[in-house]
Amino acid sequence: MSQFNPPLVGSYAPEDCLFLLKPIKANYQTIENKEKLIQSGQMHYSEIINKESAPSALYTDLFLKMTQQYKTRLAREVMRLATLICQQRQNQKQLVLVSLARAGTPIGVLLQKTLRDLLQKNSVHYSLSIIRDRGIDSVALDYLLAQGYDPESLVFIDGWTAKGVITRELHQAVKQYNQLKHVNISPQLFVISDIGGTADIQATFDDYTIPSALLNSTVSGLVSRSILNQQITKNDFHGCVVYQHLKEYDLSHWFIEQIMAEVTKDDLAPNPPNIKKQRYHETQDFLQLIMAKYDISDINRIKPGIAEATRVLLRRVPDQLLIKSENDINVTHLKQLAIEKQIPIEIVKNMPFGACALIKDVR
């Protein structure tokens, strides 16, 4: 009998994505109570979760429109990233895509279909958990190696990066795992949008609306973000909740089909300019400026970038939304969410991003 739980199949086809996560019974908290528990230090954010509800009809319509608007661009960047993966792993007979659940999951599915169906690569795709301050799910890595995959064939994927917290967590955790297991997994992180200049390989440095950032589980195979609490034993994958009550609202397949219809071998996004160091320093300077201006002592309350700002307005307790320009179509959905939640909006013209959200101090 295997020491591992079987992978979880979300609402994606199993050949497109298998989740190395353990479904657990959720003890849901309200968003407000969750925020108090996190900020007071009583619980780590990974221990608690709120129950997702269906997005409003207005907001769903916005997601559909944004997908139509940006599908061609995202398709080009998916092909660019797939090409970069092939270049970085050209000696590998098989590619093992490892997306970071869950912002990385839809991107992982797109890359899997692109590599397998368009570039005729032997590839598989798994989605696993990495958690700030807690590291990567080492049981999930153990599982992958137990399947006989070459450690050097693993490719870590996320949707975007901003402050670089997860990039650093990944680098540190994989280094520790390699030392412990005497293997050589590459800690490189491949992302679509690297707005903070912290990823290893990126398709773009631009901060724009990656449509999958607009929704939660209903664009990510109906799976929650990962959970690590007392229900997870030493041989378990990190946990999750499958939101079956949202099945009728699930757009995971629809989103993949929309983007894949635009992906072609001959249509690559241009190579991003060599501005990684510039983006990194701009981001760090901006973070220091915001911490001083708004008297914020905990950097985790600042979420720069359109994607992260979206996440805050969807599942945290936002205090303020900062946008670079009121006329930027990329922030239309953020303004809509801010209006729905009665969150003040401030224009900050010298921002290196399209948007930034501040989490409310609820202590």
Run means of pLDDT, 10 residues per run, the chain, 363 residues: 86 98 92 91 91 90 93 97 96 96 97 98 98 96 97 97 95 98 98 97 95 95 96 95 96 98 92 93 96 94 96 92 95 92 95 96 87
Bridge partners of 128, per DSSP, are 100
Q: What integer pLDDT is reported at residue 56 of this predicted model?
A: 87
Output the CA–CA distances (angstroms, integers) from residue 158 to 78, 109, 270, 281, in the order listed.
12, 11, 20, 21
Q: What integer pLDDT is reported at residue 211 of this predicted model?
A: 94
Contact status, residue 125 vs residue 111, Cβ threshold 8 Å? yes
CA distance 81 to 344: 36
Domains and CATH numbers, the chain: 18-260 (no CATH), 276-359 (3.30.1330.30)
Closest to 358 (Cα-Cα) out of 292, 304, 281, 289: 304
What burial class does residue 44 get, using C-beta atoms within 10 Å of its C-beta: 0-12 exposed, 13-18 middle, 19+ buried? middle
Rounded to 5 degrees, what angle do the CA atoms 111, 115, 117 make? 110
CB count within 10 Å of CB 145 equals 16
Q: What integer pLDDT is reported at residue 2 of this predicted model?
A: 67
Q: What integer pLDDT is reported at residue 1 of this predicted model?
A: 44
The reply to whether the predicted model has a pTM over 0.85 is: yes
**Six-digit token pair at 263?**
């992906």
**Six-digit token pair at 282?**
């701009």
Q: What integer pLDDT is reported at residue 27 of this predicted model?
A: 85
What burial class does residue 308 get, using C-beta atoms within 10 Å of its C-beta: 0-12 exposed, 13-18 middle, 19+ buried? buried
Q: What integer pLDDT is reported at residue 62 of this predicted model?
A: 87
Q: What integer pLDDT is reported at residue 24 of this predicted model?
A: 95
In tens, the pLDDT along 17-70 reads 999 999 999 889 988 999 999 999 998 989 999 999 999 888 899 899 999 999
Q: Would you put residue 185 in left (φ > 0), alpha (ψ -120 to 50) or beta?
A: beta
